Amino acid sequence: KNQVEQSPQSLIILEGKNCTLQCNYTVSPFSNLRWYKQDTGRGPVSLTIMTFSENTKSNGRYTATLDADTKQSSLHITASQLSDSASYICVVSAPQAGTALIFGKGTTLSVSS
């Protein structure tokens, strides 16, 4: 069964600290893996998108890594800011699986001052 599992479910960190969010998937084969940020009451916004041949991709303070062999991805946030408080969703694209996108349940990050 194609699944995307994220951990932790929620996380609280102090402003200025770094954190890493995890994503494990069982989707195979897949086209690409995406990380989205979703603020409360808003639609998701794309942070990074990686194909199976890419190992890392950065977008400002956000760095995503991908290990296609172990089917794991991580999203590292550096020097967190209050505005980073949001839900971070890992999404795998696998058109061959019959479903365009497979969503993880997200990690809720709270950054406190």
Rounded-to-integer distance, Cα 113 and Cα 5, Å: 29
Of 104, 107, 109, 111, the one binding another protein (CB under 8 A) is 104
Of 2, 22, 32, 74, the one binding another protein (CB under 8 A) is 32
**Per rule CB under 8 A, is residue 12 in the interface with another protein?**
no
Q: 63 near 80, Cβ under 8 Å?
A: no
**Per rule CB under 8 A, is residue 97 in the interface with another protein?**
no
Of 14, 16, 29, 42, the one binding another protein (CB under 8 A) is 42
**Per rule CB under 8 A, is residue 11 in the interface with another protein?**
no
Of 45, 55, 82, 110, the one binding another protein (CB under 8 A) is 45
Burial of 47 (0-12, 13-18, 19+ CB in 10 A): buried
Using the contact rule CB under 8 A, the part of the chain among 53-61, 63-71, 73-81, 99-107 near another protein is 99-107
In the chain the first and final C-alpha atoms are separated, in Å, by 41
What residues line the site for another protein (CB under 8 A)? 31-32, 34, 36, 41-46, 49, 51, 89, 93, 95, 99-101, 103-106
